[in-house]
Amino acid sequence: MHSPHQKTVLVTGGAGFLGSHLCDRLLRDGAKVISLDNFQTGSRLNHRQQAANPDFRLIEADVADPLPDLEVDEIYHLACPASPVHYQESPIATLRTNLLGAMNVLELAARAGATVLLASTSEVYGDPLVHPQPEDYFGNVNPFGERACYDEGKRAAEALFYAHAEEKGADIRIARIFNTYGPRMQPDDGRVVSNFVVEALLDRPLTVHGDGSQTRSFCYVDDLVDGLVRLMASDVRTPVNLGNPGEFSVAELADMVVAMTGSHSALAHLPLPADDPRRRRPDIAKAERLLGWTPAVPLAAGLASTIAYFREAVLDPASDDRPSHLLPME
């Protein structure tokens, strides 16, 4: 009896928040996993447990540079800084990653005969005029502003994936990912869940932009990773929203975090950033119908494990999990 083929899977951006959880899941599922990362926002610590696994390999490289040939069956293309703080540090680098990265990854997939999945984003809908956003909504995006390097970069990456599928028969998948949170988010990257949790744990004021009435949806990382794996395993070659349709105001989230951490923090209001969407909520009917996927982790449960992670990473300086890039807290 011959043993079944062991899949080899490349995860670009594998040392990041989502990528490292995806590597964990793929290894658990029995795949050989290659993580390719330039460590712009990722951390070697995120691969600490995987490094000992003989089925895991790390390649330090930039997806915007020509990529080596790799014998892989599947590619999850996640490489790209996800938080505005990081993608706005160098908008040109962000565009290079999105445009040249997508091109290089598609060419590698063609050489390897691999299926290739793009981690796209709800930002392709911009500041949406339709709620919730279905996949056939074209969006309301500003091409000439500080978020454009990311939003338009991802839109162009989707266009590249589409073009390669049409012209060259590439076997593509596109996940439009909505706000996802969980352990291994960076404490200093300006995303609302990690910001609130870190501020609450340190008893600092929680920074709320605007009056806090803007809404967001929050998907727990394990649910999101499951959606990515199901999408890859499907034959759906058009964009699919993945996110949690539960809609919470930023002020509600702040109240939950303060209560769950037992913090004494108050709220500090700052002006809204440019082009900040007022509402954001996925329509996940397509994922439910075609992938049989629906998020299972309620916000309170996901927040509890996120808080536990940050409690150790932020408050316990002796912890092995303490990320090296943690901001020195004044």
Ligand X SMILES: NC(=O)c1ccc[n+]([C@@H]2O[C@H](COP(=O)([O-])OP(=O)(O)OC[C@H]3O[C@@H](n4cnc5c(N)ncnc54)[C@H](O)[C@@H]3O)[C@@H](O)[C@H]2O)c1
Q: Which residues are catalytic?
A: 150
Residue (118 or 263) nearer to ligand X, CB: 118
**Can you tell me which of 8, 9, 17, 126 binds ligand X, judged by CB under 6 A?**
17
Q: Which is nearer to ligand X, 65 or 211 (CB)?
A: 65
- Does 132 sit near ligand X (CB under 6 A)? no
Q: Which is nearer to ligand X, 81 or 128 (by Cβ)?
A: 81
Q: From the list 64, 108, 112, 198, which residue makes contact with ligand X (rule: CB under 6 A)?
A: 64
Nearest distance, CB of residue 218 and ligand X, angstroms = 9
Structure letter (DSSP) for residue 38? -
Cβ atoms within 10 Å of 205's Cβ, excluding its own: 12
Closest to ligand X by CB, 16 or 132: 16
Identify residues 79-98 at the interface with ligand X (CB under 6 A). Answer: 79-82, 97
Asked if 257 is part of the footprint of ligand X (rule: CB under 6 A), the reply reads no
CA distance 253 to 239: 29
- The nearest distance, CB 153 to ligand X, in angstroms, is 9
User: How many residues of this chain interact with ligand X, rule: CB under 6 A?
Assistant: 28
Nearer Cβ to ligand X (79/258): 79
Please report whether residue 11 would count as binding ligand X according to CB under 6 A.
no
CB 129 within 8 A of CB 90: no
Q: Nearest to residue 206, comparing CAs of 193, 225, 218? A: 193
Check binding of 121 to ligand X (CB under 6 A): yes
For residue 306, give the H/E element and its range: helix 299-315
Give, for 174, the enclosing helix (H) or strand (E). Answer: strand 172-177
* Cβ at position 20, least distance to ligand X in Å: 8
Q: Residue 23 in contact with residue 11, Cβ under 8 Å? A: yes
- Residue in 112, 111, 147 with CA at minimum distance from that of residue 127: 147
Cα distance between residue 269 and residue 272, in whole Å: 9
Task: Tell me if 63 contacts ligand X by CB under 6 A.
Answer: yes
Question: Which one of 62-70, 158-166, 277-285, 291-299 is the stretch in contact with ligand X (CB under 6 A)?
Answer: 62-70
The tokens describing 200, both together, are 């609450």
Residue 217 interacts with ligand X (CB under 6 A): yes or no: no
Name the pairing type of β-strands 74-77 and 8-12: parallel
Determine, following the binding rule CB under 6 A, whether residue 18 of this chain makes contact with ligand X: yes
Using rule CB under 6 A, residue 41 touches ligand X = yes
Instruction: State the DSSP string of 84-142.
Output: HHHHTT-HHHHHHHHHHHHHHHHHHHHHHT-EEEEEEEGGGGBS-SSSSBPTT---B--
CB of 27 to ligand X, least distance (A): 17
For ligand X, the binding residue among 9, 15, 67, 95 (CB under 6 A) is: 15
Please report, in angstroms and rounded to a whole number, the separation of the first and last CA atoms in the chain.
62
User: Which one of 8, 32, 33, 101 is in contact with ligand X (CB under 6 A)?
Assistant: 101
Count of other CB atoms within 10 angstroms of residue 157: 26
Q: Is residue 196 involved in binding ligand X (CB under 6 A)? A: no
| Smallest separation, CB 179 to ligand X (Å) | 5
- Beta-bridged to residue 206, according to DSSP, are 267
Alpha helices by DSSP H, 13-87: 17-28, 84-87
Query: Which residues does 100 contact at the CB level (< 8 Å), separation at least 6?
Result: 63, 64, 65
Per CB under 6 A, does 119 bind ligand X? Answer: yes
How does strand 180-181 pair with strand 219-220? parallel
Question: Residues 151-190: x/- map of binding to ligand X (CB under 6 A)?
Answer: --------------------------x-xx----------
Question: For binding to ligand X (CB under 6 A), which residues are involved?
Answer: 12-13, 15-19, 37-42, 62-64, 78-82, 97, 101, 119, 121, 177, 179-180
